[in-house]
Amino acid sequence: MSFVVNDTLHRAGIALRSKILGEERVRRALESEDDLIEYHHLLGHECAYAQVWSRAGLTPKTRSLVAFAMLAALTPRGETLKVHIRGAVRNGATRAEVRQVLATISFYLGAGIGTDAIKSAREEFAAMEHESMPVSATASAVDDTRIEAVDTVAKRGKVMRERLFGVETPAVVDDGDAGFAYEGLKTDYYFGVLWSDDALPPALRVLVVIGILCASNRLAQLKVYLRAAQRLGCNHGEIKEVFLTACIYCGAPACEDGLAAAREIFPA
């Protein structure tokens, strides 16, 4: 028997959870409910779905992609990540958008977490295909090596980096130092390749990155990307919605730290 505080919210939460994740998945979860998960379902139904997912401050697809990124930071092989990859697709995310979130996870959280998150996504896409669930685009094999001119990528990365951070890309002398190598990686690959892929527009990608940084407790970089979000035209309301989502998927301290950082950057 579920723990119910507010019956109206409880019913609304189950209904919205079923819409986002699918009625069958929610039915199975409720059938296996026991005393250990009772409070978890209270948080899920009355707080997460009835009071967070129901809000209009982010589109359902955007909130799905942000939640997916947060969960990848915390549990890249967890069942909850798979659930929210499915939820993102049900909320209208394309395979190309999911692919870009996975790429962003690899770049910002590293190869190990990226590999695990990709495995989870492959398994969930296979399950959706087995169930004949409509997905916007099917997998495509990489048949050809794609080659771009180094100078083109570097120029594009410099422009994107300056757009995001509002300062010129620093000129660094190639002295073989690790710092020089890092600056080159950032300009060419983070910004010249990843951020310049229009399958995930910069204003959406920055919200995904903020979710990743919030989940992984990277507060210094979080402030850097909050300023980038401001430059890209994201408003304070959208940012607060990201951190409200973090309350559910990353915990209350992450939400509070994020809101405190946002207050320093965005006008009241």
The pLDDT tens digits of the residues spanning 33-80 come to 788 888 888 888 989 999 999 999 999 999 999 999 999 999 999 999
Residue-by-residue DSSP string for 67-108:
HHHHHHHH-TT-HHHHHHHHHHHHTT--HHHHHHHHHHHHHH
Pick from 94, 92, 93, 86: nearest CA to 23:
86
pLDDT at 131: 84
Q: Could you tell me the sign of the dihedral formed by the alpha carbons of 211, 217, 218, 222, in that order?
A: positive
Q: What is the mean pLDDT of the chain?
A: 91
* pLDDT above 70: residue 142: no
Question: Average pLDDT, stretch 151-166?
Answer: 95
pLDDT at 1: 55
Our measurement of the distance from residue 217's CA atom to the centroid of its chain's CA atoms, rounded to an integer in Å, reads 14
Residue 101, CA distances (Å) to 69, 122, 184, 201 in order: 7, 13, 22, 11
pTM of this prediction exceeds 0.75:
yes
Residue 143's pLDDT band (cuts 50, 70, 90): low
Pair 232, 203: CB distance under 8 Å: yes
Greater model confidence, 7 or 135: 7
pLDDT at 248: 96
pLDDT at 268: 67
pLDDT at 144: 62
Distance CA 215, CA 146 (A): 33
Question: Average pLDDT, stretch 201-216?
Answer: 98
Residue that is written with structure tokens 């995904």 in the block: 208
